Structure 1
Amino acid sequence: MSRWYGCLLAFLLLSGCTDTKESSRPSDLEQKELKSVLLQIDETTVPIRFVDNETAMALQKRLPLTMQMKELNGNEKYLKELNGNEKYHYVPFSLPTNSKNVGMVQAGDLMLYGSDCLVLFYETFQTDIPYTRIGWVEPNRLPELLSADTVRVQMSTQQ
């Protein structure tokens, strides 16, 4: 009989355990820390949805940020596949990284390459290059808004 009670107690204790996978949405506590962030491209403003990770939180603490984002020219051998799909900007600081092979990049993804290169993708494609996810924007008008070789982009918290 005591074995049965021991098994029941073990079952009850273990049933309270949950999976600790990283979620793509902030928890209630972290939601309070994440402010609404806006991305302004020329005169158009779109909201950014940050993922729940250390990189996004660290970037948010560095805002506001104004960048001249350039089209990747694709001359580097390992980046040839990305030509014409994104804008990039090297920031003057390092961010925490958790680079992974993301597989499919979606239009609207905002990611970190290395520890200091912000990349905004405006086309969807397959890649084997590792990135750290930061967030995403609605991609509807991105090809139009990012059509120039260099665009002025401002990232700021919503007032």
Structure 2
Amino acid sequence: MTQSLVPFATTVKPRRRWRLHLAGLCIGLLAVGASHAESRMWMTVGERRMAVTLADTEAARAFAARLPMTLDMTDLNANEKKFDLAKELPANARRPGTIRNGDLMLYGTSTVVVFYLTFDSQYSYTRLGRVDDPAGLAQALGQGSVKVGFSRQ
């Protein structure tokens, strides 16, 4: 007796095959949604709340594990806000070349930086994340020091 090597998809009735595809799609979307939620945090400046997508780095995971927190960030070079954490984060610095408006970075092992202008840089940073929609970020951060909240919800 020989077995037929007919693919599974052709042995399943069309209606059932459609249900299997739909179930697989739903499971896939749930998995993407869960991983997207895990890679998201929020940054609040005054009344403005912005979604931040976390980078896939050890430093970003360590930063997110400390949330919620509010940092009193000071202005530096009229293009970034910075805050020196009391406890270091794991760093794996790389030179990005171009810093983009909305980049959330770690300078050294303990300086959290939110960039609000795009420019070329020779410095090295560890990526923590990026503001999803940085339009108006410079205006929200303003001049001088500002309190910036970070949270998972």
Paired residue type of 1:145: A
Identity %: 36
Q: In the aligned structure 1, how far is the partner of 2:39 from the partner of 2:115?
A: 22
Shift of 1:63: 0.5
Shift of 1:148: 2.5
Matches within 5 A, 1:90-129: 90-129=84-123
Moved over 3 A (4+): none
Greater gyration radius: 2
Secondary structure in 2 aligned to 1:119? strand
Q: In the aligned structure 1, how far is the partner of 2:121 from the partner of 2:39?
A: 30
Secondary structure in 1 aligned to 2:125? strand
Verify the 8 A CA contact 2:39 2:55 in the aligned structure 1.
no
TM-score, normalising length: structure 2: 0.74
Q: In the aligned structure 1, how far is the partner of 2:88 from the partner of 2:37?
A: 21
Instruction: Give the number of aligned pairs.
Output: 121
Return 5+ residue gaps in structure 1 as ranges.
1-26, 73-82
Shift of 1:35: 5.2
Shift of 1:33: 8.0
Is the alpha carbon distance of 1:35 and 1:49 closer, same or farther for their aligned partners in structure 2, counting shifts above 3 Å? closer
Q: Deviations over 1:3-55 (max 9, x none)?
A: xxxxxxxxxxxxxxxxxxxxxxxx96x92782531100011101110111111
Shift of 1:84: 0.7
Q: In the aligned structure 1, how far is the partner of 2:120 from the partner of 2:65?
A: 31
Verify the 8 A CA contact 2:101 2:117 in the aligned structure 1.
yes
Aligned to 2:65: 61
Among 143, 146, 150, the alignment partner of 2:145 is: 150
RMSD of the TM alignment (CA)? 1.8
Is the alpha carbon distance of 1:109 and 1:32 closer, same or farther for their aligned partners in structure 2, counting shifts above 3 Å? closer
Shift of 1:94: 0.6
Q: In the aligned structure 1, how far is the partner of 2:108 from the partner of 2:37?
A: 25
Q: In the aligned structure 1, how far is the partner of 2:141 from the partner of 2:85?
A: 19
TM-score, normalising length: structure 1: 0.72
